[in-house]
Amino acid sequence: MVCKVVPGRLRQIDAGAGQVVGISDSKNIYTLHNGAWKHIPGVLKHISVGSAGTWGIGLKDEIYKMVAGSCVRVPGGLKQVDAGGEHIISGVNSADGIYCMSRDGVLGFKGPGSPTPWLHIPGGLKYYSCGPIGCWGVNRHNNIYMMKGVSPASCGGTMSWTHVPGSLAMVEVASDGTVYGVSPAGHIYRREGVTSCNPTGVLWTPVGDGSRYKHVSYDLGHLWALRADGTILDCV
């Protein structure tokens, strides 16, 4: 991969559906527009964009969805959210509880009064991300787990976890099913061999220049990576 530095500093970044969004250390919100970061009013600690739309998490774990250009409060509370699944939303709360919402609930949410059919998934994770082949997560011990059988109509999948060898601090699944993660030591890894026939893949391959990283996201052939100091890299 060839990487270029993108001006700015971020604490978290997410790419999906052709968009790139991020959160700064001061919790300000940004979106990449024509190669430059555009500030979006508001304050969030986590943001995600994908086929399910743009979703964010407030400083007190409030959930927000972008509806017609405005941030609308969604009932519930999460510390991390992922909009990269096929029109499904997933995430974890402050107690590492795992939740998701299937397509009908996601697309049907328009504001106050809309149903919010959150599904609780057994287990405990600190980070959870979904794609077209399945969902991946890591727990507080940096163990990696994968949920098979996830579909737009059934975000919970098989409701049975498959342990995947390795150790990651965070993991992100792209809209094409590609899986990337950052190890506790700050190194980037890509999961090889992920297919519908073998959704857990075969092995982890190291990626990057050996620098320490804290967050990654992948979309449309671009790996977006944040170094430990917040430096933003666009790798192709």
- Pick from 209, 226, 212, 165: which is nearest to 191 by CA? 165
Q: What is the domain partition of the chain in residue ranges?
A: 3-235
For range 131-160, the mean pLDDT? 97
DSSP characters for 189-227?
EEEE---SSSTT-SEEEEESSS--EEEEEEETTEEEEEE
For range 126-139, the mean pLDDT? 97
pLDDT at 2: 94
Q: What is the CATH number of domain 3-235?
A: 2.130.10.30
For range 133-140, the mean pLDDT? 97
DSSP state of 105: H
Our CA dihedral for 73, 74, 78, 79, rounded to 10 degrees, sits at -30
- How confident is the model over 56-94, as pLDDT tens digits? 999 999 999 999 888 999 999 999 999 999 999 999 999
- How confident is the model over 4-52, as pLDDT tens digits? 999 999 999 999 999 999 999 999 999 999 999 999 999 999 999 999 9
Amino acid at 19: Q
pLDDT at 126: 98
DSSP state of 2: -
- How confident is the model over 199-234, as pLDDT tens digits? 999 999 999 888 999 999 999 999 999 999 999 999
Task: Give the integer Cα–Cα distance in Å for 210 and 190.
Answer: 14
